[in-house]
Amino acid sequence: EYELKDLANTFNDMIERIRLDYVKQKRFVSDVSHELRTPISIVNGYARMLDRWGKSDPEILEESIEAIKGESKNMQVLVENLLTLVRSDNQTLEFEREKFLLDEMGLELIKDCRLIDEGKHTFESHIDASIEVCLDYSKVMQTIRIFLDNAIKYTPEGGKVSLDMTQLGQLVEISISDTGIGISKNDLPHLFERFYRSDESRTRETGGHGLGLAIAKAMIIGQKGIIRVKSKINEGSTFVITLPISCDELRDKG
């Protein structure tokens, strides 16, 4: 009797997992379609406008070309991001490890931020010297950029963005914090989900698809790291990435 009950429970658990996977899959497909619908309609609309009036009107021609270029770039980024996530799901996301100085990368990133931001925010960094790591250079850079971009996007002008890097034995802690709008308690558990945006209308303006944090998480987990977040509405957010610094700690896991 007990064994049958165990078997039935296991079976029910399995069916529930399959059902949840199915629901997730369906939501993913509908989210992707939703994200593609807007840029496709815009490209289509401008192409038709060009066809009707634009051929001889330089102003319409210019406006349409710019819009089509912008929207197709938008779709390209979306598709590349989706491919990264699919590769991560299939465990085929490749990590090319190499030795490099993480502190130099950090300083470079902060320099880039200051340059692009044109004085709208204050940038600070507390970075340990000579943090030699053996990780995927471009994926680590892309990951930190995602958090820095968000920190800038979600912090009103005049606010502060900080990047700190601390070596703790065989680990390195990278912290990106801001004094921005913060994230509500309800949103926090969903933050790293695909297509999750805590305020759709606001993020539409900033151009995000809600994939940045999902990608960052895939890249961190793929390099055996962890990510934590602390945030308070109207006070700011802190994201802390912990990564192993040595090659030995890593395995091609995807």
Instruction: Based on the shown chain and the rule CB under 6 A, indicate whether residue 35 belongs to the binding site for ligand ADP.
Output: no
Of the candidate residues 50, 183, 218, 245, the single one contacting ligand ADP (CB under 6 A): 183
* C-alpha separations of 183 from 127, 140, 178, 234, 239 in Å: 26, 24, 11, 8, 11
Binding pattern for the stretch 111-150 against ligand ADP, x by CB under 6 A and - elsewhere: -----------------------------------x---x
Instruction: Based on the shown chain and the rule CB under 6 A, indicate whether residue 85 belongs to the binding site for ligand ADP.
Output: no
For residue 236, which of 177, 196, 184, 186 has the smallest C-alpha distance?
177
Tokens of 219: 């890249």
Q: Are strands 226-232 and 160-168 parallel, antiparallel or unpaired?
A: unpaired
The number of beta carbons lying within 10 Å of the beta carbon of residue 92 is 10
Which residue's CB comes closest to ligand ADP?
208
Contact stretch for ligand ADP (CB under 6 A) within 48-56, 79-87, 174-182, 219-227: 174-182
Residue (56 or 201) nearer to ligand ADP, CB: 201
Residue (146 or 250) nearer to ligand ADP, CB: 146
Within 8 A by CB and 6+ apart from 145, the residues are 109
Contact residues for ligand ADP, defined by CB under 6 A: 146, 150-151, 154, 178, 180-183, 191, 196-199, 203, 208-214, 237
